[in-house]
Amino acid sequence: MHNSINRKEYDMDLRDIRQDYMQKPLDISSYKDTPGKLLEVWFEDAIREDLPLPNAVTLSTIGLDDFPNARVVLVKEVQHDGLVIYTDYESIKGLEIDKNNHVAITILWKGLERQIRIKAKCEKISYEESDKYFRSRPKGSQISAVASQQSQQVEYAELSARSEALEKKYKNVQSLPCPKNWGGYRCTFYQIEFWQGRPNRLHDRFQFSKNDLVWNLERLSP
């Protein structure tokens, strides 16, 4: 006979958690036609404020099972029209982007009371670009990228053995060549929303949507 479970013993009541927002209004007037510039300014603010991992973003893809799939990745370049990330092309996220290269990117900087939501289209960058960045990484990170078949099931002992074998193989070189299955994606955005926390939940939300080559700007209710 199964024991009945009293859900009250296990449920968590989070309704009393509160956050007061005290930031100044978001002045969007200088960026009506250049949301990418505002994106760069906000990244600079996050770095200047010494926020932890200011380049950490949530990348959401459409899974191979047609369900949304999200994970945190690190942005390595901020450009006027998009972001660049790097990964194993044969990883789950790589296969999902190959199937549907429209993605969502979410950035939260709690210390600045800011959030950015992006819709973007991802394209692989050139092998030469990927190789240049790959060779700039610490050698241990290079070895890890080559040893790991990202997202595939593995025993730690097997992964460790691969890594040790690569360390011996490349002990006399400064850098490994970039594997063909590893590289960057340039995620060019076609919609981007900037959210700034404001007192009394009257937050600032501005959404840029690209129509051909023109950015349309709307203010959204919080």
Known catalytic residues?
Answer: 201
Q: Counting beta carbons within 10 angstroms of the beta carbon of residue 28, is it exposed (0 to 12), middle (13 to 18) or buried (19 or more)? A: middle
For the record, the structure tokens of 95 come out as 């296969």
Residues with Cβ within 8 Å of residue 194, at least 6 apart in sequence: 26, 28, 35, 38, 42, 114, 116, 204, 205, 206
Please state, in angstroms and rounded to a whole number, the distance separating the CA atoms of residues 101 and 188.
Answer: 10
Closest CA to 84 of 192, 182, 184, 181: 184
Reported for 168-174, long-range contacts at CB under 8 A and 24+ positions apart, including other chains, are 170/139, 170/143, 174/139
